[in-house]
Structure 1
Amino acid sequence: MDLTDAPEDRAFRAEVRAWLEDHLVGDFAALKGLGGSGKDLEAHDERLEWDRHLARHGWTCIGWPVEHGGRGLSLSQQVIFHEEYARANAPARVNHLGEELLGPTLIAFGTPEQQQRFLPGIRAVEELWCQGYSEPGAGSDLANVQTKARLVSAGSTTQEWVIDGQKVWTSLAQFSEWIFVLARTEPGSQRHHGLSFLLVPTRQEGVEIRGIEQLTGGAEFNEVFFTAARTEADLVVGEPGQGWAVAMGLLGFERGVSTLGQQVGFRRELDALLEVARGNGSLDDPVVRDRLARADVELEVIRLNALRTLSQQGEAEQSVGSASVAKLLWATWHRTLGELAMLVRGTEALTAGPGYDLDPWQRLFLFSRADTIYGGSDEVQRNILAERVLGLPKEARA
C-alpha cells in the first residue's frame, strides 16, 4: 500500500483539516479530547450534538455508497479523515455502532426495505444503536448464545419475534433506541447453527437495561434483559437461522478504517506520557527509557499492520487472520501503555483524589485492563489464527 498522499488526497486532507479548524470552535471547542475508552459517558449529550453537526455537513458515513446516503469516499480518503479527526483532538463519536458496524452490515446483508428504514436515521445520528452479542455464558465464545426468539402471530396476517434472554457488556444501551441482537431461533440448535440477527427496539416494556459500574467509576456497559420483548417479523437481517454469517460479517466491519484514527489517539497518549517522563525525570532511568522506546517502535508497527490489513480487504482468509493479529497487537500494546504510565508516574499513580477521583493516567491503566478481553479476547483471537489460518487442530471443547 502506497503510504504517500496522491495530489487529490493531499487536497482532501487540507479540506478535512480546515473544516475541523473552522468548526471545532465555540461550545464545540470545549469538547476536544472528551469521550473515548473509559470515558464514554463524558459530555454525551454535547458530543451527540457534535455528531449531528457532522451529519448536517456531510461528514458521517463517508465510506458508505452514495446510493445509501454516504459519500462513497475512497479507502485512502477515509483513512485521511480518521487520521485528521484524531489529530484535531476532536471528541469521540457517539454513533460508532450504527455508522461503522450496523450500517455497513445492512448495506451488505439487509433488504431494501430495511436499508430505507434505518440507514437515514443512522446517517443523520437520529437513532442510536447498541450491540446485543455477549451473554453471561457467551462472551468471547459467541456461538454459545442462549437468548431465544420465536415467531408468534400478532394479528390475522402479521407475525412478530418474541425475545427472551439476557445480554451483557452492552455499551451505551442506556442511550440507544435500537439494539441488534443475536438470538437462537431454532429450538435444539447448537453452536453457530440456528441463530438469527434481529433488530429490536429498546424503548418497550419487555426490555430492561441495568448499568454496570466499573473500576473507573463509569457505567457505559450494561446488562440488557429481554422478557417477551417484541420486534416485527421482517426485522431479521439475512435468513432466519443464518445469523452467524451476518454476525461475523459485522465483526469484520469492526476492524475498519476507523482503527487508523485509534492509532493516532494512541500516539497522542504515548507522546503525552513521554512529556510526563521528561518532566519528572523518570526518562533518565534506562529501563523506563527502553520501554518507552519499545512502545514507540511497536506503535509504528501496529500502524503499518493496520494499513496492510485494510489493503487486504476482500481476501477472506487473509482478512480473518489480519483482523485477529491487529486486535492482539493493539490490545496488548494499549494495556502495556497503561502499566507503563504507572511506572513513569511512580508513587504518585497510587493515590486517587477525593471521592475516588481518578486522573487520566489512572483511568487509562484501569480501563485498558479490559482491552485484551472485550471485542474478542486474546485467547479467542489466537484460536482463530491457529484453526482458521494455520490449519491446526481445533481446541477440545466440553
Structure 2
Amino acid sequence: MNLPEPVPAAGETPGFREQARVWLEEALSGEFAAARGLGGPGREHEGHELRLAWERHLGKHGWTCLGWPERYGGRAAPLADQVAFYEEYARADAPARVGLIGEGLVGPTILEFGTEEQKSRFLPPIQRGEELWCQGYSEPEAGSDLANVQTRASLEDGEWVVHGQKVWTSLAHVADWCFVLCRTDPDERRHRGLSYLLVPMRRPGVVVRPIVQLTGTSEFNEVFFDGARTAAGNLLGAPGDGWRVAMATLGYERGASTLGQQIGFRRELAKVIETAKRTGAADDPVLRDRLVQSWLELEIMRLNALRLRGPEASIAKLYWSEWHRRLGELAQAVQGRAGLVEEAGQLNELQRLYLFSRADTIYAGSSEIQRNIIAERTLGLPR
C-alpha cells in the first residue's frame, strides 16, 4: 500500500511543481543530505543547527514565504503554488521547518496590521531565516480562556515594560522574538485592554524554562517576563486592540499555515503505512480500512486548508488535531506488541508520534473551545 501522489490544485502555475521538485532534490543531495527527515512533533531537538542552516538556505534561494509580496522577499505566489511546494517538500523528505511560526503566524499578522516601518524591520529577517519566533499567548490561568490573560505591560521612558508568565510556549528556547498578548490597560477586563507586543527574547528580564514532555523532549517552555523591555514602536496594531490582532494570528495558525504542518503529517502517514506493510498489519482488513480512511481524511484536510478563513479556520484546527491523534493511535496499532516496548531505552518514531499527538486536541485551542467557536461564530448558535 503506497501513499498516492496528491492531485495538483487548481490554478497551479505550469512548471512550478517540477521546479520545486528539482531544486529540493539537488539541495538535499549535497551538504544538507543529513537533514532529510529530521525534526517534527516530539523531535524538534533533532539537528537544530543543521535545520537552521537549511532554513537560511531556503530563504537565500527564495523558497520561504512564497505568498508574501516580492518587496518583502516573497514571490507573491498563488495559494496553489504554495500547496505544490509544501507537497514536494514532503515528498523530498525535507527536514521540519524551524521558521514556521515566523512565516506562518506573526509574518502574515505583521503584513495585515503592521506599519511600513515594522514590515521593513521584521519581515525580511523572517524570510531569510535569520530570526526565529515563538508565540506568547497561553498562561497558567489563561489557556483556552485566552481573554483571561494577566501578563501586563506599561510604557516607561519610551519602552514597553513587560511582567508576567507564559506557558506551553513552543520553541521559546531557540526563539529570537516572541509576539506577546498582554494587558496594557489595567482598568479593562477580558477582551478589552489587551495589546499585541513584539518582544525580544535574548534580553534581560526574559527567563525560559523547558517543560519535559511525555516524549522526554522539551519543545514547550515556561517563559517569565520580569521587567523585560521592548521599544514603544513594537506594538502591533493600536493599544487595547490586541484581541483583534491575536484572533487574526489564530486564523493564520488554524488555516492555510497548516499546509506547512501537513508536510510532517504526510511523512508520518507514509511511515505508518510502511510499518503496516512490514509487520503484516496491512493484511488485516480492519487496520487496512483505517489506513485508507486516514489517507482520505488527510486529503480532505488539505482541501479545507485551501478554503477556510476567519472563524471557519477553527474547523481546520479541530479537524487536524483529532485526525493526528487518531493517527498516533493507528501508529501504535500497526506496530503490534513491539509498540509497547522501548528499544534500547529509546522511543521509536511511531511511539513518539503516539505520545506527542495526545496533546494535539489541547494546544493551539482545545477541541472543546473550537467547537464553541464554530457553533457561535460560524453557525450563529446562542452561547
Q: What TM-score results when the alignment is normalised by the length of structure 1?
A: 0.90
Correspondence for 2:109:
105
Correspondence for 1:388:
377
Select which of 320, 326, 329 maps to 1:339: 329
Correspondence for 1:290:
289
Correspondences of 1:123-138 after superposition (within 5 Å): 123-138=127-142
Q: Counterparts of 2:137 and 2:220 in 1: how far apart (Å)?
A: 13
Q: Counterparts of 1:142 and 1:324 in 2: how far apart (Å)?
A: 15
Correspondence for 1:270:
269
3-state SS of 2:134 partner: strand
Correspondences of 1:151-190 after superposition (within 5 Å): 151-152=155-156, 154=157, 159-190=158-189
Correspondence for 2:350:
361
* Number of residue-to-residue matches in the alignment: 377
Select which of 67, 73, 77 maps to 1:73: 77
Q: Counterparts of 1:39 and 1:170 in 2: how far apart (Å)?
A: 16
The answer to whether the 8 A contact 1:79-1:257 is kept is: no
The answer to whether the 8 A contact 1:79-1:258 is kept is: no
C-alpha change, 1:282 and 1:60, in structure 2 (3 Å) is closer
Select which of 121, 125, 139 maps to 1:121: 125
Q: Counterparts of 1:111 and 1:369 in 2: how far apart (Å)?
A: 39
C-alpha change, 1:100 and 1:300, in structure 2 (3 Å) is closer
C-alpha change, 1:81 and 1:283, in structure 2 (3 Å) is closer
Q: Counterparts of 1:303 and 1:121 in 2: how far apart (Å)?
A: 28
Correspondence for 1:377:
366
1:95 aligns with 2:85: no
1:47 aligns with 2:51: yes
The letter of the residue matching 1:365 is Y
Residues 223-232 or 294-303, more deviating: 294-303
Correspondence for 1:206:
205
The answer to whether the 8 A contact 2:254-2:314 is kept is: no
The letter of the residue matching 1:320 is P
The answer to whether the 8 A contact 1:209-1:224 is kept is: yes
Select which of 67, 71, 91 maps to 1:63: 67
Cα deviation 1:88-131 (Å, max 9, x = unaligned) = 11111111111111111111101111112212221222121111
Q: Counterparts of 2:238 and 2:11 in 1: how far apart (Å)?
A: 44
Superposition deviation, residue 33 in structure 1: 0.8
The answer to whether the 8 A contact 2:105-2:257 is kept is: no
The answer to whether the 8 A contact 1:78-1:257 is kept is: no
Residues 77-86 or 278-287, more deviating: 278-287
Superposition deviation, residue 267 in structure 1: 3.2
Correspondence for 1:281:
280
Correspondence for 2:306:
307
The answer to whether the 8 A contact 2:259-2:302 is kept is: yes
3-state SS of 1:9 partner: coil
Residues 271-280 or 235-244, more deviating: 271-280
Superposition deviation, residue 264 in structure 1: 4.9
The letter of the residue matching 1:11 is G
Q: Counterparts of 2:354 and 2:14 in 1: how far apart (Å)?
A: 36
Q: Counterparts of 1:281 and 1:6 in 2: how far apart (Å)?
A: 37
Cα deviation 1:325-375 (Å, max 9, x = unaligned) = 111111111111111111221211111133x31000100000000111111
The letter of the residue matching 1:374 is Y
The letter of the residue matching 2:337 is T
1:326 aligns with 2:316: yes
Correspondence for 1:19:
23
The letter of the residue matching 1:298 is E
Cα deviation 1:303-328 (Å, max 9, x = unaligned) = 2322332xxx5xxxxx412x111111
Q: Counterparts of 2:373 and 2:9 in 1: how far apart (Å)?
A: 34
3-state SS of 1:209 partner: strand
C-alpha change, 1:275 and 1:137, in structure 2 (3 Å) is same
The letter of the residue matching 1:280 is T
Q: Counterparts of 1:328 and 1:138 in 2: how far apart (Å)?
A: 19
The answer to whether the 8 A contact 2:126-2:132 is kept is: yes
Sequence identity of aligned pairs in percent? 60
Superposition deviation, residue 240 in structure 1: 0.6
1:352 aligns with 2:356: no
3-state SS of 2:155 partner: strand
C-alpha change, 1:263 and 1:124, in structure 2 (3 Å) is closer
Correspondence for 1:316:
none
Cα deviation 1:251-289 (Å, max 9, x = unaligned) = 112234442343354233223322322222223333323
Residues 107-116 or 358-367, more deviating: 107-116
The answer to whether the 8 A contact 2:9-2:84 is kept is: no
The answer to whether the 8 A contact 1:87-1:265 is kept is: no
Q: Structure 1: which 5+ runs fail to align?
A: 314-318
Q: Counterparts of 2:85 and 2:102 in 1: how far apart (Å)?
A: 18
The answer to whether the 8 A contact 1:86-1:262 is kept is: no
The answer to whether the 8 A contact 1:206-1:229 is kept is: yes
The answer to whether the 8 A contact 2:131-2:175 is kept is: yes
Superposition deviation, residue 162 in structure 1: 1.1
Q: What TM-score results when the alignment is normalised by the length of structure 2?
A: 0.94
3-state SS of 1:119 partner: helix
